Each structure stands twice: as structure tokens, then as C-alpha cells.
Amino acid sequence: MPSQPPSQLALFDAPEPARAADPVRSRLPSREDALPLAAELARRMSAALGVPVHLRLTDNRATLVSYRRVEEGLRLRVHHLFLGAPEAVVCAMADYVRRGDSAAQQALEDYIHPRQGLLRRERRPGAPLRTRGRCFDLRAVAERLGATYFGGQVHVDLGWARKPARRKRRSIYLGGYDARLREIRIHPALDRPHVPAYVVDFLVFHAMLHADLAAPDTDAPSESGRCAAEHSPEFHAREAAFPLRDAAGRWLAENLQTLLRG
């Protein structure tokens, strides 16, 4: 079987460089705990796919599942949070590897979201997010939306995510709100002249709505409090009030491939 380019499931596309002083740089389980679970995951994936699976665990916060088809079978790299995953999640991973199934990708993302604390690292103190891009100033966008829709009551850091590495992508995380850090980050692929302003507005509005509906901060926020993914009835009702929500969704769907290449 000829070697093919790797495919991957990612939140953001470029990992931050490792820092020796980072207190949560690695959360890998101990070797004696991980090995039997990794062997079992490889066996289950091999049975589902019908090929030998060579599995490697990672603690990479950016790429959670990646694979490469090679002559001897499949080389699979997965984040350790998938160790001991239920059968439905393993089946979704197999479907994602087999045919890039969008429903399988969603199932994996649904499994990942409540476990965000196992893969996100803190930003270094004093390292501000970059708000001004080539085409859009996210701070100006947020201030305008905040005054229009939130009564000026949503106060969060926001900026462009790191520029992604130059490689083929199968998925893209366009933006989101980190409830623990109280920050919004938007993918830099959207900082392009051909991207309508209402698309960037909608993504920032969506993230600000998460911030507005998030539980009040505590002195010791839980690890799972990050990147809130819940879309409650109240969330949907308020999001529907955004006048160009549907147009933004259509544009994103129609231009996904362009954004993946960006």
C-alpha cells in the first residue's frame, strides 16, 4: 500500500513550542498505566479497520488524532485522553480514519470538549493576544458587538490564533471561547480580503455569547471549564437574533475547502 499524506483531527493547527518551565507541559499517564490501554486501543482499531495499527500516544494539544497509511498498515497517533474511550468513540475514530466521516468527527469532538483541561496549556503571563490582523481588528469588532448585543458587559481577551503550519488539513477549528482563560481566539485563515466582515462578526459574536452565558468565575476554575461547547435553548435563541447568522453559516460551508488550504 503506497504511503499517503497524514490526516488529522485538530482544535488549532499549530502547537505552541514546548517550554521547560511550563508546569503542565505533559499530563501523560505513567508508562505502566498507559501501555496496556494503548495496546487495547490499537487492537480495537485494528479489528475495526482490518489492518495492523501501530499506535503512538501524544500529549499534543493541537493535533489529537492523526494517521498515515503505510505499507505495513496504519500509523496512528492519538492523544492520551482517548485511552479507555468507550466503544462508540473508538468506532467513531475508525470511521474518521476510514473515510473522514463528518458525523464521526463530530462524535470525537463531542468526546473531547468536556476534557479540554487535559490538553490546553496556559499562555505565558505577559504574552498578549494579537488583535490587529491584516484585514480585521478583532478588538474593534468585539467592542462594536459588545455595545450592540451585550450592553458592554462582556470583558474577555481576544485575538488571532497562531498561524497554522503549512500542511494539508482535514479539519479546522475556526474559533472559540476558553472559559478558564476568558479569551477568544479566531483562526487566522479568516484574516483574508475575500472573507466577508459579517463572517468574522458572527464567529466573534458566537464566542462572546459563550462568554456571556458562562458560569461566573471562581478562584479555582475546574479543568473542564474551558472552551464551553454547550448550546442551551437560551444560547440558540440569542444566537438567532444575529441578523446574518444563516448567511455566515452558508459562507463558511461553501468556503470550507478554501479555509482548509489557508
Higher pLDDT, 71 or 179: 71
Pairing assessment for the beta strands 73-79 and 63-70 based on DSSP bridges: antiparallel
Q: Model confidence at 92, in pLDDT bands (50, 70, 90)?
A: very high
Q: Model confidence at 117, in pLDDT bands (50, 70, 90)?
A: low
Per-residue pLDDT tens over the stretch 30-67? 777 788 898 999 999 999 999 999 998 877 666 778 88
Helix (H) or strand (E) holding 36: helix 31-49
**What percentage of the chain carries pLDDT values higher than 90?**
24
Residues 104, 93 contacting (CB under 8 angstroms): yes
Q: How far apart are alpha carbons 162 and 130 in whole angstroms? A: 9
Per-residue pLDDT tens over the stretch 139-178? 999 999 999 999 988 888 899 887 655 555 555 668 788 7
CA angle at residue 5 from 2 to 6, to 5 degrees?
120
Q: 235 — alpha (psi -120 to 50), left (phi > 0) or beta?
A: alpha
pLDDT the model gives residue 230: 61
pLDDT at 17 over 90: no
Q: At what angle do helices 245-254 and 197-213 cross, to 10 degrees?
A: 120
User: How high does pLDDT run on average in the chain?
Assistant: 76
Q: How far is CA 165 from CA 97, 152, 198, in A?
A: 21, 35, 26
Q: How far apart are alpha carbons 210 and 199 in whole angstroms? A: 17
pLDDT the model gives residue 208: 92
**Domains delineated in the chain:** 7-118 (no CATH), 138-261 (3.30.2010.10)
